Amino acid sequence: MADMRDHVWGCLVGGAVGDALGYPIEFMSEDEIDTRFGSKGIQTLEQAAELAGEPQAIFSDDTQMSLFTAAGLLYGVERHRVPEISDIWLAYREWYATQGNKQYLDDPAHPKLWLTSMDAMQHRRAPGTTCLLAIQGGVGGTIFEPVNNSKGCGGVMRAAPVGLMAYCLRKGTRPTVEQRYHWASAMAAESAALTHGHPMGWLPAAVLAQIIERACVPNEPLEQIVTRSVRDVAAQYESFPEADVLVDMVDSAIALSKESHATAEDDRAHIHELGEGWVGEEALCIAIYAALSYCNDVGKAIRCAVNHWGDSDSTGAICGNILGAYLGMDAIKASFNLLSLEHIDVILRVATDMVEVGQE
């Protein structure tokens, strides 16, 4: 069981570390990053805290929404053993309430999720407009009835807990899904499609959830986990032509991860070939590139994933989710001073609740 905790904690904390390291440089150019931190870029949570003018490094909407994904899944387990998409929709509405919209709660005095009442969640940290508008609209989308045509990375950046829940359900004694891995990818796809209607808004979420579920049982190389996951999802959603495009993009990320990493400039050049990360497929591929480039060193991987001119907090968060799940909590601790990360108690409480699902 220590193993399970290691992977689940590692995934959620790793994601928060990547998010918190990238958040203060999300809108900085590479020249600005280099001028401030040197050519290797931002390295520590202490630097992130200082740049944000806070006592500890702060995480953004990526981590907030990931925690709400987890909270919705946990609520679903409580209510009907295997979570449903409506549980996640409820959680996203409660996240929306924390962004200054308490009137949207069914009962503002008594939100259904404990997370909603936490001080830690009552901050607006550059929430994505797509998410806000889709939730405000009151009716989430599905993959066949898209709510919009957005492929922003807001769908994939919050999907990791779906893979964790699939892993925990599989380990526990509760009735689980019939087809391994497909539950994770379907639930992640639909949960992303609640707010992001373009296939590249939700397909990367499906791939990430499968990667996370497999990475929690790290008995095969990470590259193989990635390759299998993206192909499995492409087969599951073969009616969408974007699925094959995503396979090609992930293959490019894998190929680039095998090229030279002699300097920080090499990594940036490779990342630029994959994009900037504002959209789902680019965020996933940049995170995969960084994770595979440094698959035994989560510190190097996360630093690689954030130090570019694109969507640093999301690429950092996804990379941290993947390698945190794969390498475990101790690897994160060895690379970053977690005393400098805000609200780690809340993250660990959510993570521990998930582990308990796997122990029942």
Interface residues with Mg ion (CB under 5 A) are 60-62, 313
Q: Which two tokens stand for residue 58?
A: 């702060």
Considering Cα of 190, then 193, then 199, then 202, what sign does the dihedral take?
negative
| DSSP-derived 3-state class of residue 58 | coil
Task: Tell me how far, at minimum, the Cβ of 153 lies from Mg ion, in Å.
Answer: 9
Give the C-alpha separation, 27 to 80, whole Å: 42
Task: Tell me how far, at minimum, the Cβ of 79 lies from Mg ion, in Å.
Answer: 29
Longest pairwise C-alpha distance within the chain = 55
Closer to Mg ion by CB, 61 or 190: give it.
61
Closer to Mg ion by CB, 172 or 280: give it.
280
Closer to Mg ion by CB, 216 or 306: give it.
306
Closer to Mg ion by CB, 120 or 243: give it.
120
Q: What 8-state DSSP symbol labels residue 341?
A: B
Task: Tell me how far, at minimum, the Cβ of 315 lies from Mg ion, in Å.
Answer: 10
Q: What 8-state DSSP symbol labels residue 220?
A: S
**295 to 106, 215, 323: CA distances (angstroms):** 44, 12, 7
Task: Tell me how far, at minimum, the Cβ of 27 lies from Mg ion, in Å.
Answer: 11
Give the C-alpha separation, 271 to 307, whole Å: 10
Nearest one of 236, 218, 144, 138 to 181, comparing CA atoms: 236
| Inter-residue contact 331 to 338 (CB < 8 Å) | no
In the chain, the amino acid numbered 9 is: W
Closer to Mg ion by CB, 88 or 317: give it.
317
Closer to Mg ion by CB, 61 or 232: give it.
61
Closer to Mg ion by CB, 131 or 234: give it.
131
Task: Tell me how far, at minimum, the Cβ of 61 lies from Mg ion, in Å.
Answer: 5
Task: Tell me how far, at minimum, the Cβ of 40 lies from Mg ion, in Å.
Answer: 23
Task: Tell me how far, at minimum, the Cβ of 58 lies from Mg ion, in Å.
Answer: 11
Task: Tell me how far, at minimum, the Cβ of 308 lies from Mg ion, in Å.
Answer: 15
In the chain, alpha helices (H) = 2-22, 30-37, 45-52, 61-80, 85-98, 129-136, 160-171, 182-193, 199-215, 222-236, 242-257, 264-274, 280-293, 298-306, 312-327, 329-335, 344-359
Closer to Mg ion by CB, 83 or 127: give it.
127
> Residue 347: left if φ>0, alpha if ψ -120 to 50, beta else—which one?
alpha
* Residue with the two structure tokens 């032509």: 241
Closer to Mg ion by CB, 30 or 313: give it.
313
Task: Tell me how far, at minimum, the Cβ of 42 lies from Mg ion, in Å.
Answer: 15
Give the C-alpha separation, 176 to 353, whole Å: 17
**Residue least distant from Mg ion (Cβ):** 60
- Other CB atoms within 10 Å distance of the CB of residue 266: 15
| Inter-residue contact 303 to 199 (CB < 8 Å) | no
